[in-house]
Amino acid sequence: MQLRPLLSRLSISTRLALWFGLSLLVLLTLFVTGFYVSVHVGLHQDLETRLREEAKAVQAHLRAHGGSPPSSPPSTHALRAAPGTFVRLLGPDGEVTQASPAFQSRPVLPADLPQPGTTTLQTRTWGETSAQSLYLPFESGSQPASWLEVTKLQSPIHRQLHSLRWWLALGILGGVGLAMVVGYGLARRALRPVAALTAAAQEMQTRPTGKLPTDFGVEDELTGLAETFNGLIERLRSSLRRERRFRADAAHNMFTPLTAIQSELDVTLRKPRSESEYREALHAVRQHTETLSSLLDELMTLSRIEAREGRPTPSSIDVCTRIRDRVRRVEPRADAKEISIEWTGATAAEAPVDPEDLDLIADHLLDNALKYTPEGGTIQVHVGQEDGAVVVRVSDSGMGFDPNQSERLFDRFYRSNDAEQSADGGGLGLSIVKAVVEQYGGTVRAERRGSGQGSTFEVRFPRHRG
């Protein structure tokens, strides 16, 4: 089995503990290896230093007590050495002329003389252990008469290094094991908020009114993550509620004209009719069909607008000229209802808006004003520049609206009871206006001019691209 699939099945806490332990193992191994090598070299250097110091001490002792050639009887004080040190005097051919008392309990140590006149440090096997010997020429007169051999066993050093190796190995294994246990516990504690978020999110799938926890006892990145998720989930809930309401309203608004068409046809086909009655029935069916077609067209327009990605970046156009053109197109409808349209404001105002989108906004605002303005009423259209924005206001002298409904006027399919009784429509016009305006970074709002005195709808476009 490959290592990656196996690791992928482990929990995050376990993987963090393993990676932490492996990293610590590598670092400790490198550090301990360097430390052990340093100690090993230091101990051998210290052994060599002590050999040379004791060799000098022996030489000084021999000279002080009248050291003589090998043929002469040695002094009884000639080869006194420190404990653990073995000293011998060797002749020119390597024969032992004198040895320290410590040699009595040790096996025979063959001499390995260096070149005449040189000092040599040698490591040799002595019995079942290793030893280090220092050879120095011991002069008598002008000719080298003998060699001074100073030897120390390396077994104490090896025992220390052996013990040190075991302690270092146990220290590494124990330290890494303890670090992995502590690391696993810390990882579990650090990831406990994630587990709480996961559990809360799973619970919200069956109980969508829940809320993710944010109190973990600390203020850290996970707290910010939970708050971000809470905001995201709240927006998703609002979106789902709007979509449910949208589907219900769309079904209701399409079902009404379809039901009327079906009822009209059922009544007409129930018995033979005259030509005028058939014409009247077909005219009613046509009206309901146009209502349904208009509703579907607005739905497609709104869906197309909401499906856009990013903010549009068109060139600047003259908003005044474009709005005036749309006003001229609705003047025949206004004249038919004896409604006067008054133009106020600037003669020129430019903003980076797509002409078709601006036409869509103007048409829906003007259509909304014409629907709810009674015969003989007045519509005012104002275009100007205020606070770095191009402002378009359409005011009417119609029924107005309840101030508590101002925020809902731009919801899809929303129509007040008074509006449903006084005019036809699907309730999507202002939703389309809001969707278009917000895509350009603008704003739209509604103002009530007073009880029975109409309303004002204001659109603001930034004069420059954001």
Report yes or no on 298 lying in a domain: yes
Report yes or no on 113 lying in a domain: yes
Who contacts 278 (Cβ-Cβ below 8 Å, separation ≥6)? 268
Who contacts 80 (Cβ-Cβ below 8 Å, separation ≥6)? 58, 61, 100
Q: What is the pLDDT of residue 54?
A: 86
Q: Are residues 146 and 24 in the same domain?
A: yes
| Residue where one domain finishes, among candidates 124, 140, 161 | 161
Q: Which two tokens stand for residue 333?
A: 């409808």
For the ranges 169-178, 216-225, 228-237, which has the lowest average pLDDT? 216-225
Coil, strand, or helix at residue 112? Answer: coil
300 band by pLDDT with thresholds 50, 70 and 90: confident
Alpha carbon distances (Å) from 267 to 13, 176, 274: 73, 89, 13
406 or 109: which leads in pLDDT: 109
Q: What is the pLDDT of residue 142?
A: 45
> What are φ and ψ of residue 344, in 5° steps?
-135, 165
Q: What is the pLDDT of residue 34?
A: 92
Q: What is the pLDDT of residue 209?
A: 63
Q: Which amino acid is at 384?
A: G
Report yes or no on 105 lying in a domain: yes
- pTM for this structure? 0.51
74 or 349: which leads in pLDDT: 349
**What's the pLDDT tens digit per position in 28-56?**
999 999 999 999 899 888 888 888 888 88
**Nearest CA-CA partner of 112 in 141, 147, 144, 87:** 147
Report whether pLDDT(76) > 50.
Answer: no
CATH number of the domain that 243 lies in?
Answer: 1.10.287.130
Once rounded to an integer, what is the mean pLDDT over residues 254-281?
81
Coil, strand, or helix at residue 151? Answer: strand
Q: What is the pLDDT of residue 31?
A: 92
Q: Are residues 338 and 357 in the same domain?
A: yes
Residue 205 to residue 174: CA distance in whole angstroms: 45
Report whether pLDDT(423) > 70.
Answer: no
Q: Say what percent of the chain tops pLDDT 90.
A: 6
Who contacts 123 (Cβ-Cβ below 8 Å, separation ≥6)? 130, 131, 132, 133, 154
Q: Are residues 292 and 348 in the same domain?
A: no
Q: Say what percent of the chain tops pLDDT 70.
A: 81
71 band by pLDDT with thresholds 50, 70 and 90: very low
Answer for the pair 151, 86: CB distance below 8 angstroms, yes or no: yes
**Nearest CA-CA partner of 94 in 51, 148, 153:** 148
Report whether pLDDT(397) > 70.
Answer: yes
Coil, strand, or helix at residue 450? Answer: coil
Q: Are residues 315 and 458 in the same domain?
A: yes
Q: Are residues 384 and 298 in the same domain?
A: no
Who contacts 94 (Cβ-Cβ below 8 Å, separation ≥6)? 111, 113, 147
7 or 385: which leads in pLDDT: 385
| Residue where one domain finishes, among candidates 304, 332, 351 | 304
Q: Are residues 23 and 153 in the same domain?
A: yes
* Maximum mean pLDDT: which of 82-86, 128-132, 144-148, 405-409: 128-132
Once rounded to an integer, what is the mean pLDDT over residues 206-215?
64
Q: Which residues pair with 384 in a beta bridge?
A: 391
CATH number of the domain that 367 lies in?
Answer: 3.30.565.10
Answer for the pair 49, 41: CB distance below 8 angstroms, yes or no: no
Report yes or no on 191 lying in a domain: no
Q: Are residues 46 and 149 in the same domain?
A: yes
Once rounded to an integer, what is the mean pLDDT over residues 186-197?
75
Q: For the chain, how big is the Rg over CA atoms in Å?
A: 52
Question: 3-class secondary structure for the chain?
Answer: CCHHHHHHCCCHHHHHHHHHHHHHHHHHHHHHHHHHHHHHHHHHHHHHHHHHHHHHHHHHHHHHCCCCCCCCCCCCCCCCCCCCEEEEEECCCCCEEEECHHHHHCCCCCCCCCCCCCCEEEEEEECCEEEEEEEEEEEECCEEEEEEEEEEECHHHHHHHHHHHHHHHHHHHHHHHHHHHHHHHHHHHHCHHHHHHHHHHHHHHHCCCCCCCCCCCCCCHHHHHHHHHHHHHHHHHHHHHHHHHHHHHHHHHHHHHHHHHHHHHHHHHCCCCCHHHHHHHHHHHHHHHHHHHHHHHHHHHHHHHHCCCCCCCCCCEEHHHHHHHHHHHHHHHHHHCCCEEEEEECCCCEECCCHHHHHHHHHHHHHHHHHHCCCCCEEEEEEEEECCEEEEEEEECCCCCCHHHCCCCCCCCCCCHHHHHHCCCCCCHHHHHHHHHHHCCCEEEEEECCCCCCEEEEEEEECCCC
- What average pLDDT is seen over the chain? 79
Report yes or no on 267 lying in a domain: yes
Report yes or no on 34 lying in a domain: yes
| Domain range enclosing 230 | 221-304
Report yes or no on 197 lying in a domain: no
Q: What is the pLDDT of residue 3?
A: 62
4 band by pLDDT with thresholds 50, 70 and 90: low
Q: Are residues 112 and 39 in the same domain?
A: yes
Report whether pLDDT(222) > 60.
Answer: yes
Once rounded to an integer, what is the mean pLDDT over residues 325-343?
89
Q: What is the pLDDT of residue 95?
A: 85
Q: Are residues 325 and 431 in the same domain?
A: yes
Q: Are residues 19 and 44 in the same domain?
A: yes
Report whether pLDDT(451) > 60.
Answer: no
Once rounded to an integer, what is the mean pLDDT over residues 425-450?
81
Q: What is the pLDDT of residue 220?
A: 67
Answer for the pair 436, 460: CB distance below 8 angstroms, yes or no: no
Answer for the pair 74, 101: CB distance below 8 angstroms, yes or no: no
| Residue where one domain finishes, among candidates 141, 161, 181 | 161
207 band by pLDDT with thresholds 50, 70 and 90: low
CATH number of the domain that 124 lies in?
Answer: 3.30.450
Report yes or no on 67 lying in a domain: yes
User: How many structural domains does the chain have?
Assistant: 3
Torsion of CA 42, 43, 48, 54, to 10 degrees: 130
Q: Are residues 288 and 390 in the same domain?
A: no
Q: Are residues 253 and 323 in the same domain?
A: no
Once rounded to an integer, what is the mean pLDDT over residues 311-321?
83
70 band by pLDDT with thresholds 50, 70 and 90: very low
Q: What is the pLDDT of residue 74?
A: 45
What one-character DSSP code corresponds to residue 61? Answer: H
343 or 309: which leads in pLDDT: 343
Q: What is the pLDDT of residue 37?
A: 92
Residue 165 to residue 163: CA distance in whole angstroms: 5
